[in-house]
Structure 1
Amino acid sequence: MTKEWAGAGDVGRTLELLWSGVGEPETGGPTKPGPKRRLSIERIVTTAVRLADTGGLDALSMRNVAAELNVGVMGLYRYVPSKAELIDLMIDHLNGPADELKAHRDEDWRTIMLYTARSIWQLYSEHPWLLQVGRSRTVLGPNTVAGLDFALGAFSGTELTDREKTAIFSAVEHHVTGVAHAHLLREQSAQHTRLSEDEFWHVQLPYLEKALSTGMFPRLAELTDEDAFAADGLESMLFGVNALLDGIERQLESRRGG
């Protein structure tokens, strides 16, 4: 399902674009002489995100972004080298703004992890094309780093090692991503097949009932809850995250007891 890869462009150039001006004081001095630039990186990125949100990654191209901005495609290349770097900029843009994290910094570690899980889920829900970008080598921009710093801060003062802290964050992130991926595929399957979700399972129901009546599948036959398989994506995600955090909590209690 992966269509694009993070970090596939000129990583050095992407980092320059991401971190330009970050941490530098506002001078308030006069602007440099010369013609004003028609575009800003912020405007380019937000336009690209809007295109991807509307039409998916298939709609995202430098030519389409340029058309939306009413500029020539060669003019767009003056700001962003290629689509690969643009995707990295889009990912970091969606991980922000970092200021929103400040209101949650003083909460307990479990609340912060649940907030993190819900935030990741919301990100995929609003921008499902992100699930089609391979991000094992995400370029670390300011918003991405701020999010990681926030998540790791949840474990300050605990008995966890640094390696365990990063492992917990990764486990939460991977679980949310996995459930979101399965949920998205389920939604897309109705668009690419002849049957709706209800019609698909209705066709199979007589065969399943006959199979269960044979006694060959006793565990399935024991299920009496009609909604046994009806959990939506968010419910499944939160159940798994809470189970994971329960285990972490028991580990911490055991260490304190020891």
Structure 2
Amino acid sequence: MKQEHSGSGDPAKSLELLWRRRPAPSRGPKPALTVDGIVAAALRIADADGLAAMSMRRVADELGVGAMTLYRYFPGKGELLDVMLDTVYGDLPRRVVPGDWRAALDEVARENRELYLRHPWLLQVAISRPPLGPNVMAKYEWELTAVEGIGLTDLEMDATVALVNGYVHGAVRTAVESRQVIQRSGMTDKEWWLAHVPHLDQIGDLKKFPLSSRVGTAVGSEFDAPYDAEHAFEYGLERLLDGVSALVANRTAPEG
């Protein structure tokens, strides 16, 4: 899976586009395109065929114009990718849920997971240098609100949000890969598991691997598959939040 990087374009031009402060082309006939329209076309391609399929020429074909026309709006793919990211982050509902910080942080994880599942190409973008657009900033503000005032330092708040987002990214990648292997093979996980079960005694003496045999059998019996992405996500998220709970309790525990 080819990796792209956000923040790879010209910073000044990306910021102009992200905040829609880039002036419209002044030369030639009245522009038939808009920044929003170009981004929408790019997102349709990325959602349907993946980020590798999204090129300036492909977007131009989608819009029925020549590739050079797009360069009147976007200097290159780097700036377009930044605006695409900021745009999809605007899809987050950013709900305020009843309950304490744990419920709020749980919601952060679930909304980010749903965003990845709607736009799997996001997994192909490294965002160590995030585009500083309005939706990226609003997303970060909302995520920090979940842990504001619970006893963490500013650095711990940032690290906690990063921890949750990093966990979701890894968990969703496995879920998306599971979906893709089903599509490509034409075989469900249950069908794959059932096809292998009758032959397990032929791969060696399972008595040499008693724990693997016992635990693997339990998982297979429960899920009819060697792995269940939904269960893994729920279990991992609960344990992650348990860890944050321990940190919060340590911060707020009375001395002595």
TM-score (norm 1): 0.83
Within 5 A, what are the aligned runs for 1:42-53? 42-53=36-47
Give the whole-Å Cα distance in 1 for the aligned partners of 2:191 and 2:8: 41
| Aligned position for 1:131 | 123
Give the whole-Å Cα distance in 2 for the aligned partners of 1:195 and 1:157: 49
Is 2:105–2:143's contact at 8 Å kept on the other side of the alignment? yes
Matched, 1:72 2:66: yes
Give the whole-Å Cα distance in 1 for the aligned partners of 2:230 and 2:185: 24
Give the whole-Å Cα distance in 1 for the aligned partners of 2:119 and 2:47: 6
Q: Identify which range, 226-235 or 135-144, moves more after superposition.
A: 226-235
Give the partner amino acid of 1:12: A
| Aligned position for 1:20 | 20
Report the CA distance shift for 1:142/1:114 in structure 2 as closer, same or farther (over 3 A).
same
Kindly state the Cα deviation for residue 35 of structure 1 after the two structures are TM-superposed: 6.0
Kindly state the Cα deviation for residue 204 of structure 1 after the two structures are TM-superposed: 3.7
SS at match of 1:131: helix
Give the partner amino acid of 1:2: K
Kindly state the Cα deviation for residue 130 of structure 1 after the two structures are TM-superposed: 1.3
Kindly state the Cα deviation for residue 42 of structure 1 after the two structures are TM-superposed: 1.2
Gaps in structure 2 of 5+ consecutive residues: none
Give the partner amino acid of 1:17: L
Give the partner amino acid of 1:227: E
Is 2:112–2:168's contact at 8 Å kept on the other side of the alignment? yes
Report the CA distance shift for 1:235/1:202 in structure 2 as closer, same or farther (over 3 A).
closer
| Aligned position for 2:248 | 252
Report the CA distance shift for 1:252/1:196 in structure 2 as closer, same or farther (over 3 A).
closer
SS at match of 1:81: coil
Structure with larger RCO (C-alpha < 8 A, sep 6+): 1
SS at match of 1:215: helix
SS at match of 2:207: coil
Within 5 A, what are the aligned runs for 1:174-185? 174-185=166-177
| Aligned position for 2:55 | 61
| Aligned position for 1:104 | 96
SS at match of 1:178: helix
Kindly state the Cα deviation for residue 189 of structure 1 after the two structures are TM-superposed: 3.0
Kindly state the Cα deviation for residue 78 of structure 1 after the two structures are TM-superposed: 0.6
Give the whole-Å Cα distance in 1 for the aligned partners of 2:203 and 2:29: 75
Question: How much is the aligned-residue C-alpha RMSD, in angstroms?
Answer: 2.8
Is 1:62–1:73's contact at 8 Å kept on the other side of the alignment? yes
Gaps in structure 1 of 5+ consecutive residues: 22-31
Q: Pick from 232, 238, 245: which aligns with 1:236?
A: 232
Give the whole-Å Cα distance in 2 for the aligned partners of 1:50 and 1:7: 21
Q: Identify which range, 148-157 or 190-199, moves more after superposition.
A: 190-199
Is 1:3–1:132's contact at 8 Å kept on the other side of the alignment? yes
Is 2:101–2:150's contact at 8 Å kept on the other side of the alignment? no
Q: Identify which range, 55-64 or 216-225, moves more after superposition.
A: 216-225
Give the whole-Å Cα distance in 1 for the aligned partners of 2:201 and 2:11: 55
Give the whole-Å Cα distance in 1 for the aligned partners of 2:188 and 2:146: 42
Q: Identify which range, 128-137 or 217-226, moves more after superposition.
A: 217-226
Within 5 A, what are the aligned runs for 1:209-224? 209=201, 214-223=206-215
Give the whole-Å Cα distance in 1 for the aligned partners of 2:188 and 2:100: 43
Aligned-residue sequence identity (percent) comes to: 38
Give the whole-Å Cα distance in 1 for the aligned partners of 2:204 and 2:237: 32
